[in-house]
Structure 1
Amino acid sequence: MTNDEMLLLKGEMSEMLRLMKKTFYSNEEIFLCELINNASNALDKIQFEGIMNNSVLNDELIITLIPDKVNKTLSIIDNGIGMTKMDLVDHLGIGFYSAYLVAEKVILTSKHNDHDQYTLESQPSSSFIITKDINAQQLSRGTKITLFLKDNQLEYLQETTIKNLINKHCQLITHPIYLWSESNKDHWQLINIWLRNQEMYDKFVAQKLGNHLPDDLAFSILFKLPLKSLKRYGCLNKSWALLLENSNFMELFRINFISNQHSYYDDTSHLLCLDQLDKSSLFSLSGRSFQNMEKVNWSKGHCSRYFILGSSSINGILCLYPPNSGTMYLWNPSSGEFKIIPPSPIEYVPDSMDPNFYYHGFGYDCARDDYKVIRNLILFPSVHIEHEPDYEEWDIHGSWEIYSLRSNSWRKPKSDIYIYPWCEEIHKFYLEGMCHWLGNWRESYDDITKKNLVSFNLSNEEWFITPLPPLDIPLEIYDNFNINLVESHLFLLNGSIALISNYYETTTFSISILAEIGKKETWTKLVTLGPLPYLPRPIGIGNMSNILFRTTDGKLAWLDLRTHLVEKLDVNAHRMICQLIVYKENLFPTLGINS
């Protein structure tokens, strides 16, 4: 077979168009819907392949339309699965031929991941020529169809006409469709506007998958979805919702979740902060099982004892604070940058009261390119006074304060909330613009406090309260079960909010992950561990789902969630507060921080 292959259709083309008009298409405008549906199907196919094999897909799946009034052409481009030479020879469907309702000539160029790029060009003699395309601009993957419109069909180059047709005929397309517009300064316009509605988008995705996938294939695809997507699709498809109750499905989901490291941990290392009563020490962990420890010196020496706010660095920066102090520091260990955060202008504090600071979050406000700290100031009766304090002056709820690095000052947040601090130092972290911690919250002053996940958005300063899931233990084994004896540990597990729970002095732990903040029903049990008789208390979670525990003899040990194997570290942590920090090196100077 030569490089150029000519397919002669002779009189078949005119007969095919006549039949198409008579039996399928009484309205010529349907051609655009057919070609876009073909493009969408190609995107669906590569999307499914990408779920099964991550290496085949690393870009956003989109459809683009380019009208060219000068050359009287309309191009429809997708970065879907593409077509091989044999596909072009044997598998062009009636959707493709609908292009000839409005075009006198069509050029189709396609590139499959595993094959060369080929071009199919129609000729006036009702024939096609298929050519290996080695000279034209190469597609990374996908198909480009260029229609040379007939003189009486140039209305399909008008932006308004194209937009109207998309909204009329392509409402079930779940992939973004972009239109090149000379009148728009940004040139590209997203024209299937309804995709901006996430609920509608999820509904149509669920419908498409439900209508086109057999159950066994859907099963194999769905367990690889993020929990948030799985929960949303479950709300739209009852059979999929039941998958979360299927032990076999959840086992596959669990294995996939803990085995595929989240991009959050790319190029990260770990720091271990050990706090004694008189000093704190910081160590860098390395080695396959983090068994190597190297002390990190804090050269500034402003204090000998401190805690680290949160469970990770923020763009290489650590936020440190001495206990029972209003002083705070920002420090980049890699670049040596260091800054003392100024004190806040505390309002009047009576002599009978002592200020107590509770630090809850340090993170980055991407909307304002700013680093922020949120803390709570609570006044307690002073231990140095002899008379009974005036309890009207005792504000047990305290007041919230936010520090901004950009303004180098403290202020009150836009909104307040009744949250009594939970004084654990390790159950706090920053994730995707929000600070998260555990706190006792009540809706009103007279309400009973309940332990909840508290989340604070650093950009819009909005609060979110998420009730914790019930402890997954057989209550009948306890004669006098007390909910207040449930121990809750909040961590970040493979990029998701995770809660590790156990009953007081028991070593069977239940791990649940959260799909959406503010929605208690989206907690999903991931796994139950134990009993682990030598590992009574989790300290933190590293990358690849390794959980750091304190052992009964005062040492530290790693538990690998994938294998459930335990590896003990030669680290004495007896009667110490231990913090595990995910650290990402950043050698560049950061705005507002001066050495």
Structure 2
Amino acid sequence: MYILLGDKFENKRQLNFSNPFEDDENFQIFGFGSIIGTLMLHQCCQNEHILWDPTTEKFGLIPPSTVDSYVPDVAKASSDFVSYLHGFGYDCTTNDYKIYSVRSNSWRKLDVDMPPSLKWSEGTHLYMDGVCHWLCKKSYGKHNSPFQPCLVSFYLSNEVFLVTPIHSDEDDDCIKFKASWINLAVLNGSIALFSHIEETTTFHVSILDEIGMKESWIKLFIVRPLPCVERPMGVGKKGEIFFIRKDEELVLFDLGTQMIVKLGFKRDIYPDCRIIIYK
């Protein structure tokens, strides 16, 4: 793992990282980035979660929730038991995380009808200003009605949900939800939805003007075809699109200058590469 610094990420420093999951490499960094300097690591198979502060190099194992504690290990290992993370955020009114409290080292149960997050764990969750956001497919209307894409927003202070529908029309270029890659990000203080259409090698960027209003999605950019893209890997704090080129080079596309900048890395043999924001 590396920290990239500078306007063009020209300074890079390797992190002193020791795997806290007993050498099990099947773990991920959850969400868009750090929350007050802390990252959430989660191990999918064992359903374990760890808080990590890269600055102090300290780890904090989150104890199992009440749900995890009474589910037998044999059930956890089967495909019938699925646990999804929905959000990782900080409530400034209580000066603590939710729904797990770091201060009391305990969980609290919420009796709510929570719209589920998508299976995709990378890029489809976002925290901003006390609100956790995630992408979802929600059924509207009567039973067996088709599922429609939406953005779910959970306010940590009052624990209220708001759902913002997303255009699903295949012919509507405003939002390309059925894409090969989708990423939520913060762009100029607004929620942005980035999507990559593999067939046309184009990127679509839209921002949300008002939470809860379908018509508030505004098409911002359609990035011209970039045939050199093999796989996108994240979005930066200024809207830079990071991707791996077909020659294995890690680069970024600057929305402002419309230029591609090399980062000085090549993808290793292990294919799992990702860019997240750490502050």
Q: The TM-score by the shorter chain falls in which range?
A: 0.7 to 0.9
Residue 138 of structure 2, aligned match among 425, 431, 441? 441
- Provide TM-score, normalisation by structure 1: 0.41
2:222 equivalent to 1:528 = yes
2:35 equivalent to 1:314 = yes
Aligned residues: 268
Residues 458-489 of structure 1 deviation map (CA, whole Å, 9 limit, x = unaligned): 222212221223579688xxxxxx98557533
Residues 340-360 of structure 1 deviation map (CA, whole Å, 9 limit, x = unaligned): 100112275476654332223
Q: Please say if residues 118 and 124 of structure 2, whose CA atoms lie closer than 8 Å, have aligned partners that are also in contact.
A: no
Give the structure with higher Rg (CA): 1
More strand by share: 2
More helix by share: 1
Shift of 1:285: 0.6
Amino acid at match of 2:64: P
5+ residue gaps, structure 2: none
Q: CA separation in 1, counterparts of 2:269 and 2:222?
A: 26
2:241 equivalent to 1:543 = no
Aligned to 1:580: 275
C-alpha distance 486-464 of structure 1, shift in aligned 2 (>3 A): farther
Amino acid at match of 2:37: G
5+ residue gaps, structure 1: 1-281, 373-401, 476-481, 585-595
Aligned to 1:515: 209
Residue 499 of structure 1, aligned match among 193, 199, 205? 193
Q: CA separation in 1, counterparts of 2:21 and 2:114?
A: 33
Aligned to 2:92: 366
Shift of 1:567: 1.3
Shift of 1:310: 1.5
Report % sequence identity. Answer: 41
Q: CA separation in 2, counterparts of 1:427 and 1:553?
A: 27
Q: Please say if residues 20 and 59 of structure 2, whose CA atoms lie closer than 8 Å, have aligned partners that are also in contact.
A: no
Shift of 1:425: 1.6
Residues 250-278 of structure 1 deviation map (CA, whole Å, 9 limit, x = unaligned): xxxxxxxxxxxxxxxxxxxxxxxxxxxxx
Question: Match of 1:488, SS?
Answer: strand
C-alpha distance 523-449 of structure 1, shift in aligned 2 (>3 A): same
**How do residues 69-108 of structure 1 correspond to structure 2 at under 5 angstroms?**
none
C-alpha distance 560-548 of structure 1, shift in aligned 2 (>3 A): same
Q: Please say if residues 554 and 574 of structure 1, whose CA atoms lie closer than 8 Å, have aligned partners that are also in contact.
A: no
Residue 459 of structure 1, aligned match among 157, 160, 171? 157
CA RMSD of aligned residues (A): 2.9
C-alpha distance 412-552 of structure 1, shift in aligned 2 (>3 A): farther
Amino acid at match of 1:423: W
C-alpha distance 567-308 of structure 1, shift in aligned 2 (>3 A): same
C-alpha distance 296-445 of structure 1, shift in aligned 2 (>3 A): farther
Amino acid at match of 1:583: Y
2:245 equivalent to 1:556 = no
Which moves more between the two structures, 455-464 or 293-302? 293-302
Q: CA separation in 1, counterparts of 2:177 and 2:193?
A: 16
Question: Match of 2:238, SS?
Answer: helix
Aligned to 2:102: 405
Shift of 1:528: 1.2
Residues 24-81 of structure 1 deviation map (CA, whole Å, 9 limit, x = unaligned): xxxxxxxxxxxxxxxxxxxxxxxxxxxxxxxxxxxxxxxxxxxxxxxxxxxxxxxxxx
Q: CA separation in 2, counterparts of 1:537 and 1:500?
A: 13
